[in-house]
Amino acid sequence: MALSGMGGRVGGEGYSRNQAPCPLPQPLQVTRMDLWPGAWTVLLLLFLLLLFLLPTLWFCSPSAKYFFKMAFYNGWILFLAVLAIPVCAVRGRNVENMKILRLMLLHIKYLYGIRVEVRGAHHFPPSQPYVVVSNHQSSLDLLGMMEVLPGRCVPIAKRELLWAGSAGLACWLAGVIFIDRKRTGDAISVMSEVAQTLLTQDVRVWVFPEGTRNHNGSMLPFKRGAFHLAVQAQVPIVPIVMSSYQDFYCKKERRFTSGRCQVRVLPPVPTEGLTPDDVPALADRVRHSMLTIFREISTDGRGGGDYLKKPGVGEARL
């Protein structure tokens, strides 16, 4: 009886009919959080792959290096434009904002190892409006332009640039003049307004008379808008020649290395007394003088090197 009673007490203390049974183990549930470590592993592997692949392409593929450099060139300009916009916006649309853009862009030549040598800067008229005409080879012309850009001078650009994101807005704030070349009437109207601005606001304008980029190592025939502008305003024309880039840059060959470019400022060409009838001869005379200098500085070892020494090169579009 004693043992029975003790057993009852022990049993009573260890188990009760009213006590809930132990829950059975639930099946394992996989949540989205459990997948994150795997996703991060994949991202890490992709990053390491790119970290290995990009330097390999850089050192083994000149074409890849060309595309990387051009992508950074354009991306860096867009980024610098973002920084320039709030600074320029304080003054609003004003030609003086071009100084801000110039200061922010001057360093790019060092990033690419391009040495820009300027000669003849003393030919710029000291205190009067004028029209600058320059040859146009590629988007790299921006480096030479910023190196020699005179005060209160703005480029005349195609209207499409206005919609080029942050760069378009920065150019607008800097007073860049946009022309829709597809609409001749609008272009003539804008040029007439520019002629008045030259005289009333002491502004200089920079024009690429070829009208488009020329990668062929010569100069395309000049369009006459810049010369009509100078004659209408009776202001001088200042020709500027940039030597060939062929030693360090070639779009067709996908080649972009370091090198040297010479920028030559030629003596101003007066237009006083000239009429619209004189424009064709004026444009031809200026182009001839610029092409002569282009060949000279692109073959003397201080500009575009010996590219133009090759027979037939640079003659295709004369």
Q: Residue 177 corresponds to which tokens in the numbers above? A: 């003049």
Q: Residue 25 corresponds to which tokens in the numbers above? A: 């183990």
Question: Residue 69: its pLDDT value, please?
Answer: 93
Count how many Cα atoms sit within 13 Å of the Cα of residue 311 in the half-sphere of its side chain.
0
Q: Residue 239 corresponds to which tokens in the numbers above? A: 């020709």
Question: Residue 305: its pLDDT value, please?
Answer: 46
φ/ψ (deg, to 5) at 259 = 180, -165
In the chain, how long is the greatest CA-to-CA distance? 141
Tokens 């101003």, residue? 268
135 touches 294 (CB < 8 A) = yes
**In the chain, at which residue ranges do the beta strands (DSSP E only) sit?**
114-119, 131-134, 153-158, 177-179, 204-207, 237-242, 249-250, 255-256, 259-265
**Residues near 191 by Cβ (< 8 Å), separated by ≥ 6?**
179, 225, 228, 229, 232
175 touches 94 (CB < 8 A) = yes
Over residues 264-299, the pLDDT tens digits come to 999 999 999 999 999 999 999 999 999 999 999 986
Partner residues linked to 114 by β-bridges: 259
Question: Residue 57: its pLDDT value, please?
Answer: 62
Q: What is the pTM of this model?
A: 0.77
Residues of the chain with pLDDT under 70: 1-38, 48-60, 183-188, 215, 299-318
Question: Residue 29: its pLDDT value, please?
Answer: 55
Question: Residue 8: its pLDDT value, please?
Answer: 47
φ/ψ (deg, to 5) at 269 = -105, 115
Q: Residue 230 corresponds to which tokens in the numbers above? A: 């100078």
What one-character-per-residue DSSP string does 48-77 give?
A: HHHHHHHHHHHHH-HHHHHHHHHHHHHHHH
Distance CA 261, CA 242 (A): 7
Over residues 70-107, the pLDDT tens digits come to 999 999 999 999 999 999 999 999 999 999 999 999 99
294 touches 137 (CB < 8 A) = no
Can you state the percent helix, strand and coil of the chain, rounding each to 5?
A: 50, 15, 35
Question: Residue 195: its pLDDT value, please?
Answer: 84
- Residues 171, 173, 177, 183: is their CA dihedral positive or negative? positive
